[in-house]
């Protein structure tokens, strides 16, 4: 952490969805630190389903902006992150993940064995929700990146407005049912300001113990 970095609270307050970016590159050292912070995000069972593609070439930016109804943040930002998930990636990586948990001293062997025995059944029991569970992990990683970037003076814009099959085609996984797209996130120096658009009063969104019924 550099002295000039914003604190977590400052980053949360400073972050806005920026619609125009300068195309100044992100210095390699900063980018590597952002990637390292991003990769530290947690995931369910520590299964780490998120696969991140950095879109950096103009040809790929143009293609991605085309799949996102021409949103120009994607064209302008030096790097746009595509957060994809490998829904069943855990089947390949679970052994390595459990081994690492044990060798790092974080998990007793017994706990790793318990995950190895129980997680596959839990995952399979999710059925179609397995996609949703992987997407949750990707969104946590994207949020971690957005706040880490903000802490270093870089802005972002969460982007949901894209055609999934086109985004998959652009990143080279057309038709692969194991891959889903969670989010697109341009990162760069802001070229425009954004005011806080406000939030609903907390009384409408935050409750204790129960939701009111009917919940709206
Ligand atoms: C999951 C998600 C998807 C979004 N998709 C888009 C988008 O496609 N295009 C866009 O310009 N803004 C998008 N936004 C930005 C929202 O409009 C913005 O977060 C909201 O208006 C609140 O403004 P703030 O981010 O500055 O606090 C998205 C935000 C989120 C969290």
pLDDT tens sequence across 34-80: 999 999 999 999 999 999 999 999 999 999 999 999 999 999 999 99
Structural domain spans, the chain: 8-89+131-193
What confidence score (pLDDT) does residue 3 get? 85
pLDDT digits (tens, 9 = 90+) for 68-125: 999 999 999 999 999 999 999 999 999 999 999 999 999 999 999 999 999 999 999 9
Q: Which residues line ligand 1 (CB under 6 A)?
A: 16-17, 19, 71, 157-161, 194, 197
What confidence score (pLDDT) does residue 13 get? 98
- Protein residue closest via CA to atom 4 of ligand 1: 159
16 Cα to the center of ligand 1, angstroms: 9
Over residues 177-186, mean pLDDT:
98
What confidence score (pLDDT) does residue 182 get? 98
Question: For the CA atoms of 139, 145, 146, 152, what is the dihedral angle to 10 degrees?
Answer: 170
CA angle 183/142/59 to nearest 5° reads 55
Q: Which residue has the tokens 């113990």?
A: 209
Give, in order, the Cα–Cα distances in Å from 1 to each of 29, 102, 152, 156, 205. Answer: 12, 28, 9, 20, 34
82 Cα to the center of ligand 1, angstroms: 15
13, 64, 157: residue to mutate for ligand 1 pocket, most atoms within 8 A of CB: 157
The candidate with the shortest Cα–Cα distance to 17, out of 160, 155, 136, 211, is 155
19 Cα to the center of ligand 1, angstroms: 10
**What's the CATH superfamily of 8-89+131-193?**
NADH Oxidase (3.40.109.10)
CA angle 189/76/10 to nearest 5° reads 25
pLDDT at 8 over 90: yes
């Amino acid at each position: 952490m550099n002295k000039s970095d914003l604190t977590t609270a400052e980053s949360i307050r400073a972050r806005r969805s920026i619609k125009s970016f300068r195309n100044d590159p992100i210095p390699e050292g900063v980018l590597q630190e952002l990637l390292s912070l991003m990769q530290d995000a947690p995931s369910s069972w520590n299964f780490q389903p998120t696969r991140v593609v950095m879109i950096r070439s103009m040809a790929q930016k143009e293609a991605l902006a085309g799949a996102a109804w021409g949103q120009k943040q994607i064209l302008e930002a030096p790097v746009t992150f595509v957060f994809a998930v490998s829904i069943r990636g855990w089947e390949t990586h679970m052994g390595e993940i459990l081994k690492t948990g044990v060798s790092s001293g974080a998990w007793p062997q017994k706990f790793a064995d318990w995950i190895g025995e129980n997680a596959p059944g839990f995952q399979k029991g999710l059925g179609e929700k397995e996609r949703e569970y992987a997407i949750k992990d990707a969104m946590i990683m994207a949020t971690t990146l957005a706040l880490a970037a903000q802490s270093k003076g870089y802005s972002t814009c969460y982007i949901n407005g894209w055609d999934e099959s086109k985004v998959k085609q652009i990143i080279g996984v057309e038709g692969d049912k194991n891959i889903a797209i969670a989010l697109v996130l341009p990162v760069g120096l802001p070229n425009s300001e954004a005011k806080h658009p406000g939030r609903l009063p907390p009384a409408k969104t935050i409750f204790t113990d129960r939701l009111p019924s009917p919940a709206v």
